[in-house]
């Protein structure tokens, strides 16, 4: 089985305004819709949650506190267009996607 190469970008708390790191990615070979992953910090070896971006923001895997999910939902709503355009490949460069994201 071959795996498509795709880019995942980490969005630091300083850039997002969130108390954790959010990972956005290109679709690559994924068969699922747009999602983001959440990690508690830069040295964490695993994600604590995978969260859908559309049609609604909800936890698909793992757990987030109600407070963290509410914050993440607010950030995703603010940045949905950028996240989806990066996923779809309409934003080609990671630095352009990161620069377009707005903090909460």
The pLDDT value recorded for residue 5 is 55
Quote the number of domains for the chain: 1
The pLDDT value recorded for residue 51 is 97
In a domain, 55, yes or no: yes
In a domain, 33, yes or no: yes
The pLDDT value recorded for residue 41 is 81
As a whole number of angstroms, the distance between CA 88 and CA 67 comes to: 29
In a domain, 61, yes or no: yes
- C-beta of residue 27 within 8 angstroms of C-beta of residue 89: yes
Report how far apart, in Å, the C-alpha atoms of 38 and of each of 3, 18, 93 are: 22, 10, 21
In a domain, 2, yes or no: no
In a domain, 3, yes or no: no
Report the chain (104 residues): mean pLDDT per 10 consecutive residues: 65 96 92 94 82 96 96 98 97 96 98
The pLDDT value recorded for residue 77 is 97
In a domain, 104, yes or no: no
Whole-structure pTM value: 0.90
Q: Which domain holds residue 91?
A: 8-99
In a domain, 1, yes or no: no
In a domain, 19, yes or no: yes
């Amino acid at each position: 089985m071959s795996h498509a190469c795709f880019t995942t970008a980490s969005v630091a708390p300083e850039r997002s305004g969130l108390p954790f790191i959010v990972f956005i990615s290109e679709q690559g070979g994924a068969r699922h819709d747009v999602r983001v992953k959440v990690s508690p910090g830069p040295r964490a070896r695993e994600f604590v949650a995978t969260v859908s971006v559309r049609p609604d923001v909800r936890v698909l895997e793992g757990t987030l506190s109600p407070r963290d999910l509410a914050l993440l939902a607010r950030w995703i709503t603010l940045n949905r267009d950028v996240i989806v355009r990066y996923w779809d490949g309409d934003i080609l460069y990671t630095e352009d996607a990161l620069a377009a994201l707005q903090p909460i």
